[in-house]
């Protein structure tokens, strides 16, 4: 069971972003938690983050060869990147869309997600724990 977590633009500076929205957790802390949850759930996880859209698309393509599930938080790209949507559309494994903050209760433009209909599940506004929920979902799906 192999899962890739694809964090996108500006998630490298997570710990510096508004703690009321993002919980004050750094990307390193978040990834440490994700690896702990993965070991509790007996799955292998690879966490990746980039601020380069082309690199993110490349990692979506790479996931086609080995991942049993994908957790994607493309950051602001979520709201407009058809390039990332096209890449994620190639997946045949479960995709979970995660947002740390509650995008549905922020600015109007954040309510649009160009990947929402590709996702088997969306986890929104649950803070860093949203990644655990996403991982649990993918593990449960693999048992079906």
Q: Which residues of this chain interact with ligand DQA, rule CB under 6 A?
A: 10, 73, 75-76, 78, 99-101, 103, 110
Paired tokens of 136 = 């649990």
Nearer of residues 1 and 118 to ligand DQA, judged by Cβ:
118
Minimum separation from the CB atom of position 65 to ligand DQA (A): 26
Nearer of residues 61 and 111 to ligand DQA, judged by Cβ:
111
Instruction: Give ∠ CA 123-99-117 in degrees, rounded to 5.
Output: 60
Nearer of residues 46 and 99 to ligand DQA, judged by Cβ:
99
Minimum separation from the CB atom of position 3 to ligand DQA (A): 18
Cα 37 from Cα 86, distance rounded (Å): 29
Q: How many CB atoms lie within 10 A of CB 36?
A: 12
Query: Which residue of the set 42, 56, 99, 131 is catalytic?
Result: 99
Residue 56: active-site member: no
Nearer of residues 42 and 57 to ligand DQA, judged by Cβ:
57
Residue 22: active-site member: yes
Query: Which residue of the set 22, 61, 80, 131 is catalytic?
Result: 22
Minimum separation from the CB atom of position 143 to ligand DQA (A): 27
Minimum separation from the CB atom of position 75 to ligand DQA (A): 3
Q: Rounded to the nearest 10 degrees, how much is the dihedral formed by the CA atoms of 89, 5, 135, 119?
A: -20
DSSP reduced 3-state for 99: strand
DSSP reduced 3-state for 9: coil
Give 73's contacts (C-beta < 8 A, 6+ positions apart): 5, 6, 7, 8, 11, 97, 98, 99, 100
The catalytic site residues sit at: 22, 99
């Amino acid at each position: 069971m192999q899962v890739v977590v694809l964090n996108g633009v500006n998630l490298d500076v997570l710990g510096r972003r508004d703690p009321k929205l993002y919980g004050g957790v750094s990307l390193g802390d978040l990834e440490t938690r994700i690896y702990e949850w993965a070991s509790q759930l007996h799955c292998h996880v690879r966490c990746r983050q980039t601020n380069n859209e082309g690199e993110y698309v490349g990692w979506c393509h790479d996931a086609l060869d080995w991942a049993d599930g994908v957790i994607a938080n493309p950051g602001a790209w979520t709201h407009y990147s058809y390039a990332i949507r096209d890449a994620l559309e190639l997946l045949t494994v479960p995709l979970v869309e995660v947002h740390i903050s509650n995008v549905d209760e922020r600015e109007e433009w954040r309510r649009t997600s160009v990947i929402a209909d590709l996702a088997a599940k969306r986890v929104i506004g649950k803070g860093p724990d949203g990644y655990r929920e996403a991982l649990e979902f993918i593990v449960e799906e693999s048992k079906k």
